[in-house]
Amino acid sequence: MSRSFRPLPADFWMQQIFEAKSARTGGVVRRKMQDIERNVGKPRFEAELIRRGYHAVQNGDQVVIFCNNQIIQIIC
């Protein structure tokens, strides 16, 4: 039996990211770019990061969201 995938409403999906415990405490959250594009779209996602003063980096299909406004340093 195959299940059809029904994405969450965009606002709810975005809310879930930023209400995660690690996000609320200024930590990091990781999501697949494919999920971001499917659920809210990259432009809307980037606009929300800017609005919150957060940063994100992408490596392959993974996006790491830094839920604070501290400077990001690449170590190596």
User: pLDDT tens digit string along 34-69?
Assistant: 999 999 999 999 999 999 999 999 999 999 999 999
Tell me, yes or no, whether 4 lies in a domain: no
Evaluate whether residue 36 is within a structural domain. Answer: yes
Token couple for 68: 């604070």
Number of structural domains, the chain? 1
pLDDT tens digits for 1-12?
566 666 678 888
Residues 14-27 have pLDDT tens digits of: 999 999 999 999 99
Residue 60 lies in a domain: yes
Strand partners, 63: 31, 58
pTM above 0.75, yes or no: yes
Q: Is residue 28 part of a domain?
A: yes
Between 71 and 4, the higher pLDDT residue: 71
Indicate whether 73 belongs to any domain: no
Range of the domain at 31: 10-66
Residue 59 in domain: yes
pLDDT for 22: 96
Classify residue 15: in a domain, yes or no.
yes
How many other CB atoms are there within 10 angstroms of residue 44's CB atom?
A: 14
